[in-house]
Amino acid sequence: MLDSHLATTPFEYMSLKTASILVIDDDVDVLTAVRLLLKPEVKEIITEKNPENIRSILAKQEFDVILLDMNFNSSINTGNEGIFWLKKIREFKSTASVIMITAYGDIDLAIRSLKEGAYDFIVKPWHNEKLLSTIKEAVKRKETKGTSAVQSGLSIFEKELLGESEVMQDIFYKVQKIAPTDANILILGENGTGKEVIAKAIHHFSHRATKPFIKVDVGALTESLFESELFGHKKGAFTDAREDREGRFESANTGTLFLDEIGNISLHQQAKLLSVLQNRQVTRLGTNEPLPIDIRLVCATNISITELANENKFRKDLIYRINTVEIVVPPLRRRGTDILLLAEHFSKIYSAKYLKPQLQLDKSAKEKLLNYHYPGNVRELQYAVERAVIMVEGDVLFARDILFSPIESALVEEERVEHSNLGTVEKNTILKVIEKHSGNISKAAKELGITRTALYRRLSKYDI
């Protein structure tokens, strides 16, 4: 059940020394394993096989953390007994942070349990380090009485990965399937849709979860910095190399490397990156000594897969290398009522942060939120709600309180005008070439460098 070969260092979990833990699971082996792991680390650990005894146990004492199994051979027989007993624990007014114990097949239920008030969940079989760190964070959350939990103590699903729409449920399912593997992932989506959040979720539910998660915005790296930043350098390798420095690949060794905006790197940079991924080793600038690397690679870009397939801009062999599985994150405007779910979530966060009463969304506010097109996606919604919470006087948000960013609207208008201008140029070019060849579509298509079919599509598009 537990990976006993993973050593834990007691001083890393000193805050557990005063903690009382209750473990409820009908598997005796699980209870024994958890007791052996936690006994040296916590003040008190109590194990219970029968969930029917939860009420009597909680009536006698309070706990800091409760580990609760998702399924029991009990009289409930609903298939989701963990949810039932989680609700009961809340009814008993327990202040304990509840961590659900689940198998991969029950992750959908575990996610639902977060919405019902669970702090987090642990997937069987787990790493000792992962279980201990999760319990430690849960204890910290209880000690801070939930205030800082809004910002730092919540699980990744409570904190960021929210969505009940079908398209988001498909993404959650995909994350569930691919996270335990070491497959390379390519995440596609517009700016602000949450690509980094998806990358973190993949890491969070992988067997590398206790190892580093390193993010690099490769699209922002200049040609001169690219190799030094990713592969590292030796002292004296170039003018400003005053000391040895490991690159991001080395920093992410045994963990996950997230390369953001991968679609913006040059063909020369792509060749360097491909070589490292093929050989699974890096060579620091200023040395000929290759270093083996063991990473899980996740990449993201706001460029469509069709644009990436243009070999003048991106190497196909690199696409195949980074794209074992692809995830397309939808823009917020296509997520329906997820908009309200996210708005209410951000409202809770910022009400707590700015010491405001819990705010309600008026019907007019909901209509305004649902009818907006969100060029800045989730990021724009988050900032709009934060501004509204700061400025509102009462405890209800109305449509007039919600103001969207003029920056995003200006960018969209600029893109629309640019696209319109490009369309005019393309249309005029097609007309000139067709006229030059006296209406011969085959010759015109050949000169334009496109197929006859593609040219016919453009003729239809521009009503030529």
Tokens 């449509």 found at: 399
Do 55 and 175 have their domain in common?
A: no
Whether 47 shows a pLDDT value over 70: the answer reads yes
Last residue of a domain, one of 133, 155, 177: 155
Do 151 and 200 have their domain in common?
A: no
How far apart (Å, rounded) are the C-alpha atoms in residues 123 and 204?
11
Residue 236, by phi and psi: left (phi above 0), alpha (psi -120 to 50) or beta? left
Residue 413: inside a domain: no
pLDDT at 107: 63
Whether 145 shows a pLDDT value over 50: the answer reads no
Do 186 and 321 have their domain in common?
A: yes
Give the pLDDT band of residue 73 (cuts 50, 70, 90).
Answer: low
How far apart (Å, rounded) are the C-alpha atoms in residues 181 and 189?
22
Instruction: Say which amino acid occupies 416.
Output: R
Do 318 and 341 have their domain in common?
A: no
Last residue of a domain, one of 298, 328, 358: 328
Contact present, 312 and 267 (Cβ < 8 Å): no
Please report which helix (H) or strand (E) contains residue 229, including its range: helix 223-231
- List pLDDT tens digits, range 194-236: 999 999 999 988 889 888 999 999 988 888 789 888 998 788 7
Do 423 and 380 have their domain in common?
A: no
Do 351 and 319 have their domain in common?
A: no
Rg (the chain; Cα; Å) = 27
Residue 141 phi/psi, 5-degree rounding, is -60, -40
pTM of the model: 0.58
Residue 160: inside a domain: no
Residue 232: inside a domain: yes
CATH of the domain at 109: 3.40.50.2300
Residue 410: inside a domain: no
Q: State the average pLDDT over residues 118-131.
A: 83
Chain-wide mean pLDDT for the chain?
82
Do 88 and 176 have their domain in common?
A: no
Full domain range(s) for residue 106? 2-155
Structure tokens at 6: 């993973």
Residue 287: inside a domain: yes
Tokens 């509840």 found at: 98
pLDDT at 413: 46
Q: State the average pLDDT over residues 432-452.
A: 80
User: Is 246 buried (19+), middle (13-18) or exposed (0-12) by CB count in 10 A?
Assistant: middle
How far apart (Å, rounded) are the C-alpha atoms in residues 372 and 382?
14
Do 88 and 136 have their domain in common?
A: yes
Do 172 and 147 have their domain in common?
A: no
Q: Residue 283: helix, strand or coil by DSSP? A: strand
CATH of the domain at 384: 1.10.8.60
- List pLDDT tens digits, range 306-356: 888 877 889 999 999 999 999 999 999 999 999 999 999 999 999 989 998
Residue 347: inside a domain: yes
How far apart (Å, rounded) are the C-alpha atoms in residues 353 and 341?
19
Please report which helix (H) or strand (E) contains residue 458, including its range: helix 452-461
User: Is 393 buried (19+), middle (13-18) or exposed (0-12) by CB count in 10 A?
Assistant: exposed
pLDDT at 3: 41
CATH of the domain at 240: 3.40.50.300
Residue 409: inside a domain: no
Residue 366: inside a domain: yes
Do 242 and 179 have their domain in common?
A: yes
Per DSSP (E only), the strands in 304-348 are: 325-328
Q: State the average pLDDT over residues 442-462.
A: 77
Do 171 and 145 have their domain in common?
A: no
Do 317 and 196 have their domain in common?
A: yes
CATH of the domain at 438: 1.10.10.60
Q: How many domains does the chain have?
A: 4
Give the pLDDT band of residue 446 (cuts 50, 70, 90).
Answer: confident
Last residue of a domain, one of 155, 174, 197: 155
